[in-house]
Amino acid sequence: MKTWKKKVSVLSAGVATAMLSTGAMAVIDTTAAVAEIDGGATAVSAIGGAALVVLAAAAVFKYVRRAL
């Protein structure tokens, strides 16, 4: 009787593990997230470029003002 209970418990644990591990092999769809990141890259680069232009203009203004 003890060996039968042990076999049943081992079998049920194996079946439970097999049923729970199927989600681990699922593929996550990331196309929407990647497309959103790619779409925002142009806006971020435009804002970054504008910030660099403002910083460069301020540096040139300071340089010209010091020269006068």
> Domain tally for the chain?
1
Rounded to whole angstroms, how far apart are CA atoms 45 and 30?
A: 23
Range of the domain at 53: 2-67
Q: What is the pLDDT of residue 58?
A: 96
pLDDT digits (tens), the chain, 68 positions: 678 888 888 888 888 887 776 666 677 788 988 888 888 888 899 999 999 999 999 999 999 998 87
Give the largest Cα separation in the chain, rounded: 102
Identify which of 39, 43, 36 has the alpha carbon closest to the alpha carbon of residue 51: 43
